[in-house]
Chains A and B, each alone.
Chain A
Amino acid sequence: MAAQKYELILLKNMSQPGYTGSLADYEQTGGYQALRKILGKVPPAEVTATVMKSGLRGRGGAGFPTGVKWGFLPKDYQGTRYLCCNADESEPGTFKDRQLMERDPHQLLEGIVLAGYAIGAESTYIYIRGEMVLGSRILEQALAEARKAGYVGKNILGTGVHVDIWVHRGAGAYICGEETALLESLEGKRGLPRVKPPFPATHGLYDKPTVVNNVETLANLPHIINRGPEWFASIGSPPKSTGTRIFCVSGHVKRPGNYEVPMGVTFRELIYDQAGGMRGEKPLKAFIPGGASAPFLTPEHLDVKLDFESVAAAGSMLGSGGVTIMEEGTSMVWAALRLMEFFYHESCGKCSPCREGSSWLVQTMRRIVAKQGRAQDLETLSDLCKNIAGRTVCAFGDAEVAPIMSTLKHWRQEYVALIHEAEAANLIKSIPVGARH
């Protein structure tokens, strides 16, 4: 294997031959040293300050600064606080959290204990997507090891600090990745997002102050503690996009998979260098930069940098880190319909623009793809999208219109061509059979 171009941080342990993710393996690579360094020695507020200084931003989708989020918890409040690790990973195109949990579970557990300590949460929950049965078994096993060794639970390493961790399996609903839907689900209810404010920082799980953080976000913490916030802040595109990210590359490339690179490398490098380039002769036609909720981009955007600001400036978002590559010949209308079907299936139904709108959008798109579209359909699509985005209880509304809006913007002629075909066919049908030549 040729030398790795960039230093791996999160995927480093598991890239060592023979690494099994057991407690012994993790300890051998310096695991749980951050916890020894911090617990009972460094005040929690200082841990939060360190995380703030590192510039770490959430890896779950929105990119909110982690230390700042922790700082929103009410300072004078003495009661129970909770931490939830968002391991629901259901955004199409995203498959990094599963790798982090299945291959190096202790890295995540150490991160959770550190975060729990920093925010004063003695009970923490890993909300793992229900389908990941193997992942939840691996986590349970790792937890049993960590409890036995005194790294998790009551009086950790004799420091008097309590942080317990429980694995809670979801049961199949994309929307439970949205943090307030996650909390509802964890409370045993339907996973319907809550109207915000109030935010989880003040009214979260069981109405108590709560932090929700993504798996990858939390897995970064031991490294930030061990190597210092300055080190972390020097990686990537400082000052706003620090550290590495695991990009999940899927679609028409030679080597789909997870690639951990410093934020700020270009899409060109990720696609052609890391992922080996296009799988065949056909050139790149389109790519999605950050999961199904991120607007499509074109080959013109290949030199855009993979950091929060640059991708936003290009009209899309870094989102969940799912990068999907499509070659020439892929129908963009078909691709947008596939994603629209996903959103239609997953709309929780709480608010009408999303519930009704997703149904209309999917019906209109199906009609166009089936070559039964009508000239006014394009306007209908735009109108629907405009009336959903920004008018819903949760950010799902903005997400679901992204594929259609962006493909309409960049590949409108493909929609038009399908509708023309439909109209031509209708014209033939409307001529009496006897008159047809």
Chain B
Amino acid sequence: MNLAEKYKDEIADILSRYPVRRSALIPLLYLAQQENGFITEGAMIEIAGMLKLTPPQVYETATFYTMLNLKKVGKFHIQICKSLMCALVGSDTVIGWMKTKLGIGPGETTADGLFTLTAVECLAACGTGPMMQINDDYYERLTEEKVDRILADLRTTGTSSMKSGPFMWPDRAGARV
């Protein structure tokens, strides 16, 4: 794969945003990840070349951040928040449902390569927990029925209408005293 050819315009736009080239590193790694779902060694070497960095410099940054995958993940990466605020309202139960429904534990991928399950830390949606993120989307105030529907939707259509839109407000605040 050749990022430079395929994403010429995107790369030019990214580079134009920063006076120092290295700042474009994380945005370019995202671009590479978009290509395969994870970042290949080849992509890291190519990016190093673009930014006049050494491959280890790219690797050093890439390994620091949890959202940059250096290994293949499932088509749908399910990340359930397990931090305290969600745990108070049942996130451990949600992880339990997911384990049963998918037959995998946190850190594992289903045999068909469809789902990867991860338990993660707070995603800034603690008022609407329990919650999870699947790929780019948030799913909040989870119930078992909702989880079933989401999984079924993803399996059949690749997306789900249960995902959250912009921050839930003021529909819920309408109930305020």
Binding site for B on A (CB under 8 A): 1-2, 4, 11, 14-15, 17, 21, 80, 89-95, 97-99, 102-103, 123, 129-134, 138, 166, 168-174, 185-191, 206, 248-252, 255-258, 273-274, 276, 292, 322, 324, 326, 330, 335, 338-339, 342, 345-346
Contact = CB atoms under 8 A, between A and B. Distances in A.
A255 B177 CA distance: 10
B124 interface: yes
Nearest to A89: B124
23 contacts: A15-B173, A89-B124, A90-B121, A95-B126, A98-B167, A99-B167, A99-B169, A103-B166, A138-B166, A169-B26, A172-B68, A187-B23, A188-B24, A189-B22, A189-B61, A248-B127, A251-B88, A256-B89, A256-B126, A256-B129, A322-B85, A339-B84, A345-B121
A255 B169 contact: no
A107 to B, nearest CB: 13
Given A93-B85, A99-B167, A103-B166, A187 B22 contact: yes
Interface in B139-160: none
Given A14-B170, A98-B124, A172-B66, A133 B27 contact: no
Interface in B1-32: 17-20, 22-27, 29-30
B124 A129 contact: yes
Contact of B138 (A91, A99, A134, A186): A134
Interface in B159-177: 164-167, 169-170, 172-177
B45 interface: no
A263 B64 CA distance: 37
A188 B61 contact: yes
B116 interface: no
A21 B166 contact: yes
Contacts of A326: 88
Interface residues of B, number: 52
A249 B67 CA distance: 27
B167 A102 contact: yes
A1 B67 contact: no
Contacts, number: 173
A251 B89 contact: yes
Given A2-B176, A93-B85, A190-B61, A185 B123 contact: no
Contacts of A250: 85, 88, 126-127, 129
B22, B26, B83, B126: most-surrounded residue (chain A CB, <10 A): B126
Contacts of B137: 133-134
A2 B177 CA distance: 6
A92 B66 contact: no
A123 B18 CA distance: 9
A191 B64 contact: yes
Given A95-B126, A98-B125, A190-B61, A185 B26 contact: yes
Nearest to B29: A171
A93 B169 contact: no
Given A250-B126, A335-B84, 8 more contacts: A1-B176, A95-B167, A103-B166, A131-B133, A251-B85, A257-B169, A273-B177, A338-B84
B66 A171 contact: yes
A17 B83 CA distance: 33
Sorted nearest first, the 4 A-B pairs with minimum C-beta distance are A171-B65, A188-B25, A172-B66, A172-B67
